[in-house]
Each structure stands twice: as C-alpha cells, then as structure tokens.
C-alpha cells in the first residue's frame, strides 16, 4: 500500500535499473573498496562483496543486484525513501556509465607459498579444540598448511589427487580475514578423504566446522570408523523458488564422484541462514537420498560445540554475529 501511495511503478522500475557498483562509483565513491580483480567491497560493510554485477553480504546471507536492494536490505532504508533517493540521483546527476558485467578469464589456480613450519596454524586450531592427530593427518595429506602470511590454508582436491581449491583463514583470532585463493574451483572444496566403507556424508559450511565434527566423533569413540565429510566453503543461499534452486556445486560434484553415498547429514550452522539452507538441500535431495538435519546442540556451529565440550574459551572475531544456541549452555549444563 505504501509503495502505491508514494512512488509510481515507473519510478520503481527506474530505481531498480541502477546496479550497486554503478551507484557507488557515481554517487558514493568514498564507500567503494577494490579488493581483487573485478571484486569490490564497501568501507562500512567489509563482508559485502560485489562481483559480476551482483552483490552478497556474507555476514547476513543477504544479496541482490540493484542499488535499491542494497539500500533497503543493508542500509535499512524504507522502500519508498530508497526509490525516491535513487530517482533523485538519476534525475539530477545521471550516471556517467552503467556497469555491464563482462566475462573475465579465470586466473590460474596457484597455491600460496608455505611458511617454513605450521606452528601458528597448529596452535590456533588446537586452541579452537581440534586435536593434534587430526591436524597432523591433514598436514601430512596436504589438506592444511601455514602460508607465508601465517594464514590457515585449507586445500581441496579432485578425484585424481590434484589440488583445485584453497580457502585462507587468518590464524590471528582477532582478525576476520577469510577468502578463497584466486582461481579456486569450488566443485572441489575442502573434504576429508572419501570412505567407500561408509554410505553417509556429513555436510558443513566451513573446513573448521568439518574438522570440529570429526574431532567430536573421535572423542565419543576412539575406534569409530571414519565417514565422509565435506565443506561447502561458505553460506549456501537458496533462491525463492525451489524449482529454480541448484544444489551447492561442491555437493553436486562430491555425490557424482562418490556414487556409494546414500545418506546426507546436514550439519550447517544453527542460525536462520543455516537452517534455511539445510531444509532446502534436504528437499532437493529427497528423491535420491535420505537426509537428516543435524545442527549443533550448542552454539552456532560445531566448533562452538567442540570448544564447549572441551571447556575452551577463545575470543574469535568473525564476520557474522554468533546466533543464540539451539540449546543454551545453561540447559546443557543441567
């Protein structure tokens, strides 16, 4: 009702025609930060990334294309106010050029150079509860190492054993640095070696959650047989219509490469974005696979649960705020 009373359909269409990058380049250039080849962020929200004509805010799982979506979803501006502001911008100062995304050649994938040892990475991940035997296994198989800037480098491999993907996470608890290595192929996200003896796959948002869950399994039973574990390397955002929503590309590739999998346990974050993603994936897999929603019992993710289980305290700075636990720590303590 508010839209009809205050702005016309033509004004809404005009406002939606302006993409976010063009808007920031023309009207708020001081807010625009270039972070890579064809990738931009904003000074106010460093978790928001703009690439190939689209934008996505990783801390909240919200994204879009237009500047209008950005003003409403990120700036918290009222719809009518945002439409009016954009129409005023276009009327008094038309953009010099409208951004048109151009196909870019994918850069070659090259793993970052390793540091002479892995001491800082081991110390950081052990302080987050992951045991030394599991870390040594990942280091010895090339799945984890410390790069020259002391980041944790989590590596993903194709079925032939060639590294095809890498995610960097700072080993400094006070840093929010997290990014993929340029040229990474997300089909081959971080995973632990496939186990033909198990038909079950455990699915996570991050490599640290994946390792945390494996550590919890080891704590529960020292002689437990390993299962299949895969990280999506980020938040999966379903589309509005289920029929138009593809499965995460890493999950699609893993199931293709490991056809013995028949059951998928969805161990995504215990927040709104994680639960929505888990339910969507479950619905998309329902015809060929059995599924279960397996969020952590304590905290936002399985690393929270592992640290609670081991009674560890570490102030870890993340891009997204921690959600309320599914079961509060006080309830679990009782």
User: In this predicted model, what pLDDT tens digit does every residue of 15-39 receive, in sequence order?
Assistant: 888 888 888 888 888 888 887 777 8
User: What band does 331 get if pLDDT is binned at 50, 70 and 90?
Assistant: very low
User: Residue 102 has what pLDDT?
Assistant: 60
Contact between residue 333 and residue 306 where contact means Cβ atoms under 8 Å apart: no
Q: Is 100 exposed, middle or buried (0-12, 13-18, 19+ CB in 10 A)?
A: exposed
User: What band does 216 get if pLDDT is binned at 50, 70 and 90?
Assistant: very high
Token readout for 137 is: 């296994």
User: What band does 332 get if pLDDT is binned at 50, 70 and 90?
Assistant: very low
How many CB atoms within 10 Å of residue 91?
Answer: 9
User: Residue 23 has what pLDDT?
Assistant: 87
User: Residue 44 has what pLDDT?
Assistant: 86
Q: Is 160 exposed, middle or buried (0-12, 13-18, 19+ CB in 10 A)?
A: exposed
Q: Identify which has the larger pLDDT, 212 or 221.
A: 212
Residue 321: DSSP 8-state = P
Laid out side by side, the sheet with 200-204 consists of 228-231, 200-204, 263-266, 290-293
- Comparing 41-45, 221-225, 249-253, 302-306, the range with the smallest average pLDDT is 221-225
Contact between residue 188 and residue 182 where contact means Cβ atoms under 8 Å apart: no
Residue 199 φ then ψ, to 5°: -95, 5
Task: Give tens-digit pLDDT for 53-84.
Answer: 788 888 787 888 888 999 999 888 888 888 88
- pTM of the prediction? 0.67
Rounded to an integer, what distance in angstroms lies between the CA atom of residue 205 and that of residue 154?
A: 13
User: Residue 325 has what pLDDT?
Assistant: 38
């Amino acid at each position: 009702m508010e839209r009809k009373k205050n702005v016309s359909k033509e004004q809404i269409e005009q406002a939606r025609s302006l993409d976010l990058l063009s808007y920031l380049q023309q009207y708020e250039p001081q807010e625009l930060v270039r972070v890579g080849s064809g990738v931009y962020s904003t000074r106010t929200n460093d978790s928001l990334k703009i690439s190939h004509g689209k934008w996505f805010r990783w801390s909240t799982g919200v994204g879009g294309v237009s500047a209008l979506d950005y003003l409403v979803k990120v700036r918290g501006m009222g719809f009518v106010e945002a439409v009016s502001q954009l129409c005023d911008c276009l009327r008094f100062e038309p953009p010099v050029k409208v951004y048109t995304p151009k196909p870019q050649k994918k850069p070659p994938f090259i793993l970052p150079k390793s540091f002479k040892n892995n001491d800082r990475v081991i110390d950081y991940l052990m302080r987050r509860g992951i045991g030394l035997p599991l870390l040594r296994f990942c280091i010895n198989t090339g799945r984890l190492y410390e790069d020259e800037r002391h980041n944790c480098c989590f590596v993903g491999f194709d079925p032939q054993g060639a590294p095809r993907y890498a995610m960097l996470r700072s080993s400094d608890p006070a840093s929010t640095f997290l990014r993929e290595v340029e040229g990474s192929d997300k089909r081959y996200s971080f995973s632990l070696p496939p186990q033909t003896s198990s038909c079950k796959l455990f699915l996570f948002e991050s490599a640290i959650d994946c390792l945390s869950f494996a550590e919890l399994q080891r704590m529960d039973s020292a002689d437990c047989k390993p299962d299949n574990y895969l990280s999506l390397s980020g938040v999966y955002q379903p589309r509005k219509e289920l029929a138009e929503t593809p499965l995460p590309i890493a999950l699609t590739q893993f199931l293709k490469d490991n056809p013995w999998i028949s059951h998928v346990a969805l161990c995504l974050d215990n927040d709104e974005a994680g639960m929505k993603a888990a339910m969507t994936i479950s619905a998309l897999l329902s015809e060929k696979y059995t599924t279960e929603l397996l969020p952590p019992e304590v905290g936002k993710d399985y690393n929270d649960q592992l640290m609670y289980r081991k009674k560890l305290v570490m102030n870890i700075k993340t891009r997204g705020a921690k959600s309320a636990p599914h079961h509060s720590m006080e309830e679990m303590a009782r």
